[in-house]
Amino acid sequence: MQYELYYWPGIQGRGEFIRLALEDAGADYVDVARLPEGSGGGTSVLLQMLEDPATGHPSFAPPFLKAGRRLIGQTANILLYLGPRLGLAPRDEASRLWAHQLQLTITDLVAEIHNSHHPIAGSLYYEDQREEARRYSAYLRRERLPKFLGYFERVLDENARGRQRFLVGSATSCADLSLFQVIAGLRYAFPRTQRKLEKSLPLCVDLHDRVAARPNIASYLASTRRIPFNNDGIFRRYPELDV
């Protein structure tokens, strides 16, 4: 079965967490909206799928995944579905719930990072909420990023006592790939802040490096399938927010 991913074609965004899982597993998938309009791609296909009453199980927003006759939305929910099928989830139920709990905590962190450039409204330009973004980002840098990343460092440390170098159990899961993406994104968006924070995050940095070196991930990151970070996505580089 070929998976069909539906996500905005010009950004990594939340879709990237799905792309990384599919790429790491070498899964057969098509990134539908990145196809040419003439081949059924483009942004219009996303909007159609969101509005079409015939889809069943409509999503509130992209990303969503078509898997055979199923249509599944919400990033963490898609990974809950894909994880076991791609060999990227623990086997027992307790560990799967734990991995999903970490995935949802990453979801929360990603939402807070998104709000750094859009603290007032997603429908406004950044330039129209720059002052609020400046104020918000000061708290993000000082309080929230250290708290979230310190939490994941602690989780890695507790698992490392069993000599494991993964967030959950003894193998790579979707949560590891997602934490890699968050760290890569923060390095792009907040390079100055991240350089300081990473001094006390050796296990997160090590996890990032090992995920980046996984053969399928390395070849994905080097390919044109990996959309470069840019200032339309979740992780945006505005130097005035990284002081």
Residues that bind a second copy (CB under 8 A): 53, 56-60, 70, 72-74, 76-77, 80-81, 94, 97-98, 100-101, 104-105, 107-108, 111, 115, 119-121, 123-124, 132, 135-136, 139, 143, 148, 151, 154-155, 158
The two structure tokens encoding residue 194: 């991240």
Which of 34, 114 has the CB closer to a second copy? 114
**Smallest distance from a second copy to CB 1, Å:** 15
Q: Residue 62 contacts by C-beta under 8 Å, 6 or more apart in sequence?
A: 6, 7, 8, 14, 15, 46, 50
Which of 20, 149 has the CB closer to a second copy? 149
Tell me how far apart the alpha carbons of residues 195 and 197 are, in angstroms, rounded to a whole number. Answer: 6
**Smallest distance from a second copy to CB 180, Å:** 19
Tell me how far apart the alpha carbons of residues 109 and 90 are, in angstroms, rounded to a whole number. Answer: 23
| Alpha carbon separation from 74 to 17, 79, 124, 137, 216 (Å, rounded) | 11, 9, 23, 26, 24
**Smallest distance from a second copy to CB 205, Å:** 20
**Smallest distance from a second copy to CB 74, Å:** 4
Which of 171, 212 has the CB closer to a second copy? 171
Which of 139, 231 has the CB closer to a second copy? 139
**Smallest distance from a second copy to CB 162, Å:** 11
Q: How many helices (H) and strands (E) does the chain have?
A: 10, 4
Which of 139, 232 has the CB closer to a second copy? 139
How big is the chain, counted in residues?
Answer: 243
**Smallest distance from a second copy to CB 80, Å:** 7
The answer to whether the CB of 51 falls within 8 A of the CB of 64 is no
Tell me how far apart the alpha carbons of residues 184 and 135 are, in angstroms, rounded to a whole number. Answer: 23
The two structure tokens encoding residue 74: 């919400």
Which of 35, 67 has the CB closer to a second copy? 67
